Structure 1
Amino acid sequence: MKALLLDDERPVLESLQGKLNLFCPEVEVVAACQSVDEAITILNEEDIDLLFLDVNLNGESGFDLLEKAKGTDFPSLIFTTAHDEFAIQAIKHAALDYLLKPIDAEDLVKAVRKAGARISLEQAAVAEIASKGAPKKLVIPTTEGMHILNVSEIVRCESSSNYTQFFLKNKTSVLASKTMKEYETLLRPAGFERVHKSHLVNLEMISRYVSADGGYLLLTEGSTVPVSNRKKEILVQHLKRL
């Protein structure tokens, strides 16, 4: 499991990382950050499975990160704090666990095991969906009701807060009231690839990959989509197989 740590106190970060190394060898600490903006940068660049999030961050809050990163598929979330009055708020944000400082090693191990169990369930669900083959149609829940889309007509999807915008060949769009992560699981067997945190693309709709300006895709209907650094190599391999 890849983990990101966020706490404004360096000694606390070092202590938590040391305990993870000692008691939870299955966890790889990708980064230990001291600010919300630094953590958001890592979340946009890396595939993080587990986020340890302090509540009080020297004028900021761990909840600020959750607000700023709306639309991002969040990893399993474990709050760490010296105070217990934020527990209800943490639960509302679907926190996997809530650890009080100083963090007890046994509690830490239990929290990591919970995260591992959740990831295993998600992987099993993805494998089951993939085994059923690529869908030909999607039923999209919207604020107006339900839309039925032919998968072959979908050019790309874009994350918009807790919604997903579908862009179609006929240059219309549909706003779905579900997150991108759910559709990525369904559409990957149909030849879709997540090329950026906010963008899922139908590989058949790619006209050109441009390496300038950080790298972006030109799609057949004329739109452009950025490609994140960590997705470039995967994308190139997919394009070679087309």
Structure 2
Amino acid sequence: MIKLRTLIVDDEPLALKLLRSKLSHIPEIEIVAQCSNGREAIAATIEFEPDLIFLDIQMPGIDGFGVIKKLQTEILPLVIFTTAFEKYALDAFDVHAVDYILKPIDDEHIQRAVSRAIQRFETGEKHDNKPHIIGAINEIDLIQHRSEALDDEVKTQATSIDNVERKIVIKDRDNITILKQSDIEWVDAAGDYVCIHTDAVTHIKRSTLKSLLKDLDPSIFKRVHRSTIVNLNYIQKVIPHTKGEFFLKLGEYDQVKVSRNYRDVIKSFLSES
């Protein structure tokens, strides 16, 4: 029988207790940790590398969406959101095939979500869900903060060849976003997409990591994992890990794993600093 090592996250103690109680009756679930905020959730995911996370969205500080954006695809578990969001947000989840349980939670919906998680785990979809989640998040943000004037301004910028140099162009339906490469902190790949992380937003671009790397400035962007690129300018700390691996701290919360195959890249960077 499959045992999904599970992390549960909610800032409300009663909600956390209720969720733990209901999951304790499901034999396929093994709870490895519980967290009461986004910061704890990021740290616990890195430490325990769970198979599944039940993640509250609306939390102070780093919310559930922020947790997803700051986790590397390689260590991001299967995600089931627990939420009291409005219907427009749930529609976005449905369109992008993102699993969720609407609060107040009940046994039937938990069991259904767990069954889907088991199916996805068995078919190896664990590391392919980030683009779907980010797609839903971005659609929700677009609905909440849509600005026609800003869209027009971005489209105007995109018509200038000069503005495209040393920048990355991201097309999302009718919208075109132009990112300065200097604003890109790190990038991770998920299937046929890449997640491009800046300070405020995570963007999704249809591209392979190898193809994107050709467009990035090679003097500051380095591959540190088969699925991850970092901007060397954002490295704040190097944290040793097991088996010759280590993590790079890129901001207050972002940590990226460096695999053994790419550790010489960071060693070279440190020796030149």
**Structure 2-normalised TM-score?**
0.48
Equivalent of residue 65 in structure 1, options 55, 64, 67? 67
Distance 1:92 1:65 in 2: 21
Is 2:13 the counterpart of 1:10? Answer: yes
Deviation at 1:77, TM superposition (A): 1.1
Aligned residue in 2 for 1:42: 44
Contact 1:3 / 1:31 at 8 angstroms: preserved in 2?
A: yes
Contact 1:52 / 1:78 at 8 angstroms: preserved in 2?
A: yes
Q: Which stretches in structure 1 are left out of the alignment for 5+ residues? A: 126-142, 144-158, 184-191, 207-216, 225-242
5 Å-filtered alignment, 1:164-183, equals none
Equivalent of residue 25 in structure 2, options 11, 22, 26? 22
Segment drifting more, 195-204 vs 75-84: 195-204
Distance 2:269 2:60 in 1: 45
Distance 2:270 2:95 in 1: 37
Deviation at 1:108, TM superposition (A): 1.0
Higher strand share goes to which structure?
A: 1
Q: AA paired with 2:54?
A: F
Equivalent of residue 82 in structure 1, options 81, 84, 88? 84
Aligned residue in 1 for 2:53: 51
Per-residue deviation, residues 156-186 of structure 1 (Å, max 9, x unmatched): xxx63536698xxxx978767xx95758xxx
Contact 1:36 / 1:65 at 8 angstroms: preserved in 2?
A: yes
Q: AA paired with 1:22?
A: H
Aligned residue in 2 for 1:122: 124
Distance 1:18 1:203 in 2: 42
Distance 2:112 2:58 in 1: 23
Deviation at 1:53, TM superposition (A): 1.3
Distance 1:60 1:99 in 2: 20
Q: AA paired with 2:119?
A: A
Aligned residue in 1 for 2:199: none
Deviation at 1:195, TM superposition (A): 4.9
Residue-pair matches, total: 168
Contact 1:77 / 1:94 at 8 angstroms: preserved in 2?
A: no
Identity over the aligned pairs, expressed in percent?
A: 29
Helix, strand or coil for the counterpart of 1:48? Answer: coil
Contact 1:50 / 1:75 at 8 angstroms: preserved in 2?
A: yes
Distance 1:160 1:124 in 2: 18
5 Å-filtered alignment, 1:227-242, equals none
Helix, strand or coil for the counterpart of 2:7? Answer: strand
Q: AA paired with 1:71?
A: Q
Is 2:190 the counterpart of 1:160? Answer: no
Aligned residue in 2 for 1:31: 33
Distance 1:19 1:30 in 2: 15
5 Å-filtered alignment, 1:100-119, equals 100-119=102-121
Q: AA paired with 2:7?
A: L
Change over 3 Å in CA distance of 1:59–1:124 after alignment to 2: closer
Aligned residue in 2 for 1:199: 257
Distance 1:199 1:91 in 2: 31
Distance 1:64 1:203 in 2: 29
Aligned residue in 2 for 1:140: none
